[in-house]
Homo-oligomer: A and B are copies of this chain.
């Protein structure tokens, strides 16, 4: 299959440097692959990365050559979640201002998943943390290596769930199991995530890339309009609810980010060397 950078120029012209710095985007035979590309930071999401992922999804949604989109991570991690460094640059207007801006960025980021108009597939190549886990309820298929883990330690950081997980997780696995993840900070394996309906299929690490890629390539050859209309029937049933939940979750987080519980927890995180969640 021909592989081109997203929005590549007509052939013959020299490809420009990618407009994205934190992600790597390629379009090949109907598949738009968005790869989180800060492996040295375990693909932690800084503000620029939130924006670039959202922009890449919006472009893929509008690009007629794209049948479906794939999200994955470069290196050993899928994504280590929100970059806590985002909380380090307190602006002159202080914590309240930072929290408000963070809420706007997060709500927009999650909205780009809710409204993505085509099948969206995640290839979980390693540990997944925080918001990279919670948005999985908005994906149409999730393939994972057996080396992947799933961790959403919100309350241990004084925070609260996002990515519509306060709605999607109880719907996927029941409240009694969703609370283990969303309230009580339990880290689960790929197989457990499959049993809880977060993950479609788990592969041994040595076979993961090949097996997952084979599925994605096959799906991208299906009748495109049929795929898109079928998929959006399911999304349309929940769209309004998902937008409402996203807003509520971001409002609570903006409050949390200004709370003493959260500020203490983050301070402890940075001061405790080798601290583990």
A interface residue numbers (CB < 8 A to B): 119, 136-142, 154-161, 166-167, 169-180, 182-185, 197-200, 215, 219, 222-227, 229-231, 233-234, 236-237, 241, 245, 248-249, 252, 255-256, 259, 261-262, 265
A155 x B223 contact (CB < 8 A) = yes
Task: Give the interface SS of chain A, mostly helix, strand, loop or mixed.
Answer: helix
A141 x B259 contact (CB < 8 A) = no
Sample of 20 A–B contacts (CB below 8 Å): A136-B176, A140-B183, A141-B180, A154-B226, A155-B222, A158-B223, A160-B226, A160-B230, A173-B174, A173-B197, A176-B198, A179-B200, A179-B231, A179-B234, A184-B219, A184-B222, A223-B265, A225-B261, A233-B248, A237-B241
With beta carbons under 8 angstroms apart, the residue of B172, B173, B182 that contacts A234 is: B182
B155 x A230 contact (CB < 8 A) = yes
Compute how far the CA of A241 lies from the CA of B177 in the bound complex, rounded to whole angstroms. Answer: 21
Compute how far the CA of A160 lies from the CA of B235 in the bound complex, rounded to whole angstroms. Answer: 13
Q: Chain B contacts of A183 at CB under 8 A?
A: 119, 140, 219, 222, 227, 230-231
B119 x A233 contact (CB < 8 A) = no
Q: Chain B contacts of A215 at CB under 8 A?
A: 184
A249 x B233 contact (CB < 8 A) = yes
Q: Chain B contacts of A119 at CB under 8 A?
A: 179, 183
A256 x B229 contact (CB < 8 A) = yes
With beta carbons under 8 angstroms apart, the residue of B154, B169, B223 that contacts A261 is: B223
Do A179 and B141 form a contact, CB below 8 Å, given A173-B197, A223-B158? yes
